[in-house]
Structure 1
Amino acid sequence: MMTMAPARPPYGGFNTVALRLEVRRVLRNRRTLVFALGMPALFFLSFGLPQAGQAAAGTEVRQLTMVNMAVYGSMLAATSCGAAVAVERSVGWTRQLRITPLLPLAHLAIKVLTAMLLGLLSVAVEFTLGAASGVRAPLRVWLLSGLIAWLGSSVFAALGLFAGFVLPSENVMQFVGPALALLALCGGLFVPLPFLPESIRSFAEFTPGYGVGQLARLPLTGGPVAGALANLAVWATLFLTGAAWLYRRDPAR
């Protein structure tokens, strides 16, 4: 007697319905929203807004601070969203998904896209706040810096997934918060890189926050592109590959 193999769903199970449900689930998490959207905005109001009219390296400080905090916000939002997989693992949700036709790559793609949408929301909040506070810049700066800050969130969505598969749910955010603060520092998001101690500058350009920070500031400051692009590509590849590998080997599946 012949049996038919179960049909694979189109695109491995990736579809807009699953994506929409995941986005709605994330938007119901008020703690994550306040953390990811509120903290960068507070930093801009505290450190960027009071420096109206001041310039650094020929660029208005408020413009730099707005772009830096947009990058930091997208980092926070995307990483926090990705790291939520640790909670799903602890309650057995990922184990349930393993018995569905949903392929691992489709599941990870839904997670990354959801995290990037939250990152986009964070960038939009920061830029809206900057515009309302009197920050003025050419249209290409708003578009390019915002686009880079948003696309860079894909790296940190993958970082969040990686951390969520490695760390238990009760510890993952205790790691993510300090780790992102350090990565933001190395990316020049809090303090310009030339002002950092030599001990930090010596390795800062090899950290995940460096590439996206440099690229997002380029429309304002100019500078070389190749090194920052390579940094972004390498870390995105490492985190995405690592998250996919950990998902397949996850003992909580």
Structure 2
Amino acid sequence: MSTVSLDSTSSDDAPRTASFNAVYFGLELRRITRDLVSMFFTAVLPAFMYLIFGAAQDYGQESAGNGNVTMYVMISMAAYGAVTATTGIGGIAALERMQGWGRQLGLTPMRDGQYVLVKTLVGLTIAAIPVALVYLVGGLTGAEGELSAWVLSGILVMVGATVFAVFGLVFGLAFRSEAAVGAASGTLVIFGFLGNLFFPLSGVLLTIAKFTPLYGYVSLARRPLTEGYVVDAGNGQVEFEPLWVAVTNVTVWLLILSLLAIWLVRRGRGRQ
């Protein structure tokens, strides 16, 4: 009889838990989108940067793989907007847990796994805003490419951006203050320049770029357009880069960030 009762209770709780998760998702989404300053830098700034570095440049209509240079810049700026969004959500999640929000959620039907899932969905939803805006503006201002390049690059931008939720989480756990999100976003800008995201690098800088967190991600996002070819800005030559270079970069950085996050969580527990 007790087993039947437990199963019945679990079945009764499932709709209530799902309802609570949906409500929490909606509240989180509204809370974040009401912060107009943050939303400007997350959504509008990447589109503005695309217009400056892509659509407004004379070289924008030059060929680039399956499309033109304008589309190449469009994908890059969409990727920057997406990782800015997911990094911010990851940092906020870490701060909430350290500031006692986890204990409050413990009084609700939500469990840790569901909390992570909701935060992930919120991050992807927010990330979709700059991606959609940049792609829309790109389509209206001269970005050209094969349909497969548009679709696959958009998918890779969104999927790859989830890695940087862990990036934000690490900063939130390390700094343990409201400055964490700002520090993470500022560091992304530096990695963007070093990672061949904002403009093509050459020589030693291009070699260094391959070891930075954003390089593999943005290379994979561009690959449906470039087909794996990379421009060396120093000599203007185009060289083919094997797929394993970008995949290894993303995999190694995901492993490093995940292990670092686990270590920071355990260190935080040790202090309590």
Q: TM-score, normalised by structure 2?
A: 0.77
Q: How large is the Cα RMSD of the aligned pairs?
A: 3.1
Shift of 1:66: 0.5
Seen in structure 2, the aligned counterparts of structure 1 residues 82 and 231 have a Cα distance that, compared at 3 Å, is same
Instruction: Report if the CA contact (8 A) 1:116-1:157 is conserved.
Output: no
User: Which residue number in structure 2 is paired with residue 217 of structure 1?
Assistant: 222
Structure 2: 5+ residue runs without aligned partners?
229-241
Seen in structure 2, the aligned counterparts of structure 1 residues 238 and 175 have a Cα distance that, compared at 3 Å, is same
AA partner of residue 227 (structure 1)? V
Work out the CA distance in 2 between the residues paired with 1:17 and 1:239. Answer: 30
Q: Deviations over 1:48-106 (max 9, x none)?
A: 12224543766632111101001111011111222223553575323423455543333
* Alignment pair present for 1:119 and 2:127: yes
Alignment of 1:102-181 (within 5 A): 102-181=110-189
Match of 1:75 among 83, 90, 97: 83
User: Which residue number in structure 1 is paired with residue 238 of structure 2?
Assistant: none
Seen in structure 2, the aligned counterparts of structure 1 residues 104 and 90 have a Cα distance that, compared at 3 Å, is closer
Shift of 1:135: 1.5
* Equivalenced residues, count: 247
Work out the CA distance in 2 between the residues paired with 1:213 and 1:35. Answer: 19
Instruction: Report if the CA contact (8 A) 1:81-1:157 is conserved.
Output: yes
> 241-250 or 120-129, which moves further after superposition?
241-250
AA partner of residue 39 (structure 1)? L
Instruction: Report if the CA contact (8 A) 1:104-1:248 is conserved.
Output: no
> 174-183 or 55-64, which moves further after superposition?
55-64
Instruction: Report if the CA contact (8 A) 1:32-1:80 is conserved.
Output: no
Alignment of 1:51-66 (within 5 A): 51-54=57-60, 55=62, 60-66=68-74
AA partner of residue 183 (structure 2)? F
Work out the CA distance in 2 between the residues paired with 1:82 and 1:156. Answer: 8
Work out the CA distance in 2 between the residues paired with 1:238 and 1:104. Answer: 22
Work out the CA distance in 1 between the residues paired with 2:243 and 2:76. Answer: 17
Instruction: Report if the CA contact (8 A) 2:168-2:181 is conserved.
Output: no
Work out the CA distance in 1 between the residues paired with 2:64 and 2:33. Answer: 39
Match of 1:35 among 33, 41, 45: 41
Shift of 1:147: 0.7
Work out the CA distance in 2 between the residues paired with 1:139 and 1:204. Answer: 29
* Alignment pair present for 1:19 and 2:42: no
AA partner of residue 185 (structure 2)? G
Q: Secondary structure at the match of 1:169?
A: coil
Seen in structure 2, the aligned counterparts of structure 1 residues 246 and 112 have a Cα distance that, compared at 3 Å, is farther
> 90-99 or 210-219, which moves further after superposition?
90-99
Seen in structure 2, the aligned counterparts of structure 1 residues 221 and 53 have a Cα distance that, compared at 3 Å, is same
AA partner of residue 81 (structure 1)? I
Work out the CA distance in 1 between the residues paired with 2:185 and 2:245. Answer: 26
